[in-house]
């Protein structure tokens, strides 16, 4: 079951990395390649951390993979769409990068995003 969780997470990260790669390739900068390398490193570290956390929690609390799947589905549906994402990001009107719905300022360019959604 851990493999299912891993695959689900990786598919989302691969999709996001492909988008970042396409942007980096279109800009033709080596900075884009460095950013992609850093993102890949961070995704790998986050995936490892997630797997270790689930292993500890399930072992100590006696939770099953079915418990995890049910909670993932509950959280996924919290934003009204079963799409494998929590609180789909919005696009910053200033720099066109994705930003969370809970932030009032863009984390990339600092633009004021107005009221939180």
Q: Where are the domains of the chain?
A: 2-86, 90-117
Of 6-10, 57-61, 89-93, which gets the smallest average pLDDT?
Answer: 6-10
φ, ψ of residue 112 in degrees (nearest 5): -75, 125
The encoded tokens of residue 94 equal: 């200033």
φ, ψ of residue 24 in degrees (nearest 5): -65, -40
Longest CA span, the chain: 50
Judge contact between 86 and 75, C-beta under 8 A: yes
pTM of the shown model: 0.49
- Please give the Cα distance from 73 to 79 (Å, whole number): 11
- State pLDDT tens for residues 6-43: 667 777 777 777 777 777 666 656 766 788 888 899 99
* More confident: 86 or 41: 41
């Amino acid at each position: 079951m851990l493999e299912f969780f891993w695959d689900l997470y990786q598919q989302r990260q691969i999709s996001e990395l492909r988008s970042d790669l396409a942007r980096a390739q279109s800009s033709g900068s080596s900075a884009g390649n460095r950013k992609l390398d850093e993102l890949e490193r961070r995704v790998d570290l986050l995936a490892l951390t997630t797997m270790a956390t689930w292993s500890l929690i399930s072992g100590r609390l006696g939770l099953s993979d079915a418990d995890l799947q049910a909670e993932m589905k509950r959280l996924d549906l919290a934003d009204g769409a079963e799409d494998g994402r929590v609180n789909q990001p919005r696009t910053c009107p200033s720099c066109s990068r994705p930003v969370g719905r809970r932030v009032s300022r863009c984390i990339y360019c600092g633009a004021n995003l107005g009221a939180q959604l």
